Amino acid sequence: MDEKEMKNLLSGRLYIELQLFKYSVLRQTKEEIYSSSYKIEVFVTIYEILLEEIEKLNEETAYKLLCWNGGILEFLYQEWLTKEDSTFEELKAYIGAELGNILQKNSMDCGKESTDGTGIDTAA
């Protein structure tokens, strides 16, 4: 088997893994599906990334992935869960800073009417 055929098989295997995952999700209740939304998103993203990366793999790596005993997508998802997500930390820092800015800009105006009767508490 040549390298191109091996990469095609690997693409096929990943596609089957994704389809089996989708099938298992669709058998769940609406509530279970909703609570699995993060896993669904990450599975699809991992699949898409792997499809792009397959062309860059050497023959030995492609072969080892084909021989992997277990789900590649599930393994990568479980590993991802153990990693710290710097995006979350960046977002958390940004929100903290923006909350400070919001509080500084709006702390004086909270709930006060203007002297002319216009402002937050103005009647319709």
Q: Determine phi and psi for 113, rounding to 5 degrees.
A: -90, 155
- pLDDT, residue 90, reads 78
Domain that holds residue 42: 3-83
Is there a domain that residue 97 lies in?
no
Query: Which tens digit of pLDDT belongs to each residue from 64-84?
Result: 999 989 999 999 999 988 887
Q: Report the pLDDT value the prediction gives residue 124, as an integer from 0 to 100.
A: 52
Stretch 93-120: mean pLDDT? 66
Q: One-letter amino acid identity for 56? A: K
Q: How many independent structural domains does the chain possess? A: 1
In a domain, residue 115? The reply is no
In a domain, 42, yes or no: yes
The pTM assigned to this predicted structure is 0.69
In a domain? residue 98:
no
DSSP 120: T
